[in-house]
């Protein structure tokens, strides 16, 4: 396991010279034009019809290097999109009988502008302004915003918005609530987790030039089952959503009906992934005294 460290121990911290930057990223800056040329991204629409920008070639290698450095920086405990934690752990943090409010940031990665990334490298990483400009250009799609399909985007977006998330965390603590962050999903639980609280958060998000997703902004009463980062939280338990049960059942039927072995192999691999997700949910419940396993489909 790689050791984690504070931000001031990162190789990206306080880069003030071009030679330093070349050594840290293992690139020659006279190749920068080539690095950022047209064609350095593969762009396409995913299954949800969302535009994806995926770096290719040398740019993808450099993004991997930056992501490696950023992944090793110690982040606040409220962050659940980090190594050795999962979306299930994020949901389980809000177990219990209390109201829950959730929202997310609309078009998160495309909303993180090059200027925000540059400011992050100047203010948080203490880099020289010209170095921050180069780093921001490298990190951003067409030197405009974070790409939607790069390994760096989640890390860079967090640090670019860290002041905002710290502010929300502090506000939640002051209200006696718990706050967790999973990429762009914000969840608050506690007696004050209500519409009024979300309105305060909305004002904070707007002040950073970002916006909340209206359709994903939801409040739950204390006794209601709550769907949080794709997991149902009911009292002290995490449960698999009904649609996931159906997906597993449908995949099993499809395997039975498959004609070719090649189709069966593909379907079995897909089923294995679904079952692994389900077992993650079972795992967090394992320590509960009154818990009865529900994995009837394994």
Asked whether the beta carbons of 124 and 75 are under 8 A apart, the reply is: no
Average pLDDT over residues 6-18: 97
| Candidate ranges 123-132, 233-242, 244-253; pick with highest mean pLDDT | 123-132
Task: Look at residue 104 and tell me whether its pLDDT is greater than 80.
Answer: yes
Average pLDDT over residues 265-292: 76
Average pLDDT, the chain: 92
Confidence of residue 2 (pLDDT cuts 50, 70, 90): low
Q: How far is CA 199 from the centre of its chain?
A: 23
Summarised one tens digit per residue, pLDDT across range 136-162 is 999 999 999 999 999 999 999 999 999
Average pLDDT over residues 169-176: 97
Angle at 113 between CA 21 and CA 210, to 5 degrees: 140
DSSP code for 31: G
Q: Concatenated DSSP letters for 36-81?
A: TSTTSEEEEE-TTS-EEEEE-HHHHHHHHHHHHHHHTB---TTB-S
- Rounded CA separation 29/22 (Å): 7
Q: What is the pLDDT of residue 296?
A: 38
Helix (H) or strand (E) holding 227: strand 226-228
Asked whether the beta carbons of 126 and 6 are under 8 A apart, the reply is: no
Average pLDDT over residues 236-245: 87
Confidence of residue 34 (pLDDT cuts 50, 70, 90): confident
Summarised one tens digit per residue, pLDDT across range 49-91 is 999 999 999 999 999 999 999 999 999 999 999 988 999 999 9
Task: Look at residue 109 and tell me whether its pLDDT is greater than 70.
Answer: yes
| Dihedral of alpha carbons 262, 266, 269, 274, sign | negative
For the chain, percent helix, then strand, then coil, each to nearest 5? 45, 15, 40
pTM, 2 dp: 0.89
**Which residue in the block uniquely carries the two structure tokens 């989640």?**
154
Q: What percent of the chain has pLDDT over 70?
A: 95
């Amino acid at each position: 396991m790689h050791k984690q460290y504070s931000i001031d121990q990162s190789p990206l911290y306080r880069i003030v010279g071009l030679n330093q930057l070349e050594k840290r990223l293992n690139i020659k800056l006279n190749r920068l034009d080539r690095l950022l040329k047209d064609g350095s991204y593969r762009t396409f629409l995913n299954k949800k019809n969302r535009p994806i920008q995926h770096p290719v070639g040398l740019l993808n290698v450099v993004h991997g290097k930056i992501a490696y450095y950023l992944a090793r920086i110690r982040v606040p405990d409220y962050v659940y999109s980090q190594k050795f934690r999962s979306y299930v752990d994020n949901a389980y943090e809000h177990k219990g009988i209390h109201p829950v409010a959730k929202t997310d940031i609309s078009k998160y990665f495309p909303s993180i502008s090059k200027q925000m990334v540059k400011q992050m490298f100047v203010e948080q990483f203490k880099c020289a302004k010209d170095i921050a400009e180069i780093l921001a250009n490298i990190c951003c799609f067409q030197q405009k915003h974070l790409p939607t399909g790069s390994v760096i985007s989640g890390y860079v977006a967090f640090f670019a918005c860290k002041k905002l998330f710290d502010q929300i965390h502090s506000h939640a603590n002051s209200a006696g609530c718990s706050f967790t962050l999973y990429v762009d999903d914000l969840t608050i639980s506690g007696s004050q987790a209500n519409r009024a609280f979300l309105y305060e958060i909305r004002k904070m998000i707007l002040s950073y030039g970002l916006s909340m997703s209206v359709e994903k902004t939801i409040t739950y009463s204390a006794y209601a089952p709550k769907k949080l980062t794709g997991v149902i939280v009911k009292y002290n338990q995490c449960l698999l959503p009904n649609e996931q049960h159906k997906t597993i059942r449908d995949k099993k039927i499809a395997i039975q009906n498959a004609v070719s072995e090649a189709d069966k192999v593909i379907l079995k691999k897909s089923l294995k992934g679904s079952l692994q997700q389900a077992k993650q949910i079972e795992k967090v419940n394992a320590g509960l005294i009154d818990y009865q396993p529900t994995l009837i489909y394994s």
